[in-house]
Structure 1
């Protein structure tokens, strides 16, 4: 359910909004919501409510710009359409929120909890050049990332050549409908730093830790970013390695699109579970 909610949120946040989009995603969401109810799960659960709220946000958006509500939405989600005023723009736990460059100006003065909480993935950027010194400062901050036996096997490639950025993202496949970012980073891990088969998962652990540290450091530097997965088929990966000259002893961890925050842009709310939902304790 969360997957389809987020697909719809991304469409809602797009700068070039396409009214009536998302029939296939809504069909899948409808089926999952029906299975949820048939299985006896509570409709007061935050996940189910997020599904309802993203439908309401979709209806609210169409009404706000004077576009008709698609027929399939009215037929499949009559209750949510009738209660779409509950979306109230940006107040639900699903839909879109506004991200502003002015809110990022004092990032370096914020405490960690505030900085971390306000970070959000941004896919559309201001049409200005990125301060590469700030990117390198973010890398320097990220070097404090812990790694197994302090091996620091993470590597990062910064790509500014727009033709290479576009070709890499075409191969990656998850950036459709957006302009190429000014900078594309590729995080990888050098497996030559590991010594036995028992450490086979460590590149992904260390690489994931570094990725999160880098994303937070970019936020600290008031730069916008969006992580992109490297879960690709063999030929995709081969083509990317050839394009960007990545050796076969480096495991691909993630791409990160980087740019400047626009004056104002919509971004998915991307709801979060309550901490108690994911927490277990042994006493």
Structure 2
């Protein structure tokens, strides 16, 4: 068949047809793969249904972490996160009726216990949305002693920076409150240079880092991100991590830029921690419309995808961060013989 087509079309005509065929084949394959991605996300994400333990657990984590963050403000607002508290109680009751509790539902109950006891200690009434009866149920079965937030001074927080990796890694936490001291450009260069040893597919190194030192521009980006509203006044500098789609070849690599970008982001956070700089990664799970707006603000190439916004700054004095209890090994690891 190839021989006959070359005879009929000529060498150049055959090459032209082959290029067109490969283009069409790849276009159809790309559509098929993105369509399957969409179907799987439609079926299994929390966007359209909440019909499994994992989906209920995901909401529980989202809500208890939101309450944890309320505790790390210097001034805790009375009756904060009412909607999250109501949702959390409802979802925990659903777990009671249908499933067994695990590490995350257990810590969620502890966060609610801390929430109730904080308000009771300060004589703030919350009985209209969190009853004493529900508190007593949670309290009766709670075995955890940790609080929903941790407090340390600067020396304590950075005490494991130069120790073994297990201590170093476990000591890094998301910090949301910073001093007014600016990180110098020289230090930023050291941090990014250190982070650049992150691995990437075929060593393509597609990650790019934008350091924003202008408070007006910082606020525009944070307004779009939307997750650091309560801490925005204390955030004067941010990183925006992007990945350039130009570096990916196959249909199978359509999501590889998220992987390479995530690996680079973690390395960047470790580099900041090593330099005794606080940071907090802010989720960039945005629609294409928000992406386009951010591209205009930051003058990004159309091929670049934002992976994360990273609030950064020096910390001092009393440092507060969320407990963010991690899963035990048996909820994560599966060994296949």
1:39 aligns with 2:98: yes
Contact kept, 8 Å, 2:178 with 2:315, in 1: the verdict is yes
Partner in structure 2 of residue 68 of structure 1: 124
SS of the residue 2:239 aligns to: strand
Contact kept, 8 Å, 1:130 with 1:182, in 2: the verdict is no
Partner in structure 2 of residue 187 of structure 1: 241
Mark the runs of 5 or more structure 1 residues left unpaired by the alignment: none
Shift of 1:84: 11
Q: CA RMSD in A?
A: 2.1
Mark the runs of 5 or more structure 2 residues left unpaired by the alignment: 1-59
- Alpha-carbon separation, structure 2, partners of 1:135 and 1:251: 22
Greater CA drift, 206-215 or 237-246: 237-246
- 1:76 to 1:130, Cα distance in 2 relative to 1, 3 A: farther
- Alpha-carbon separation, structure 2, partners of 1:115 and 1:249: 35
1:42-95 deviations in Å (ceiling 9; x for gaps): 4xx32222111101211333345x2424112225623168669987xxx42x50
Contact kept, 8 Å, 1:59 with 1:69, in 2: the verdict is no
Contact kept, 8 Å, 1:160 with 1:184, in 2: the verdict is yes
Partner in structure 2 of residue 204 of structure 1: 258
- 1:216 to 1:230, Cα distance in 2 relative to 1, 3 A: same
Size of the aligned set, in residue pairs, is 276
- 1:134 to 1:105, Cα distance in 2 relative to 1, 3 A: farther
Specify which structure has the higher proportion of helix: 2
Partner in structure 2 of residue 133 of structure 1: 186
SS of the residue 2:229 aligns to: coil
The one of 44, 53, 60 aligned to 2:110: 53
- Alpha-carbon separation, structure 2, partners of 1:23 and 1:60: 15
The normalised TM-score by structure 2 is 0.76
Query: Greater RCO between the two (CA within 8 Å, min separation 6)?
Result: 1
SS of the residue 2:230 aligns to: coil
Contact kept, 8 Å, 1:121 with 1:227, in 2: the verdict is yes
Counterparts of 1:4-43 in structure 2, within 5 Å, are: 4-42=63-101
- Alpha-carbon separation, structure 2, partners of 1:132 and 1:96: 32
**Greater C-alpha Rg:** 2
Shift of 1:100: 2.3
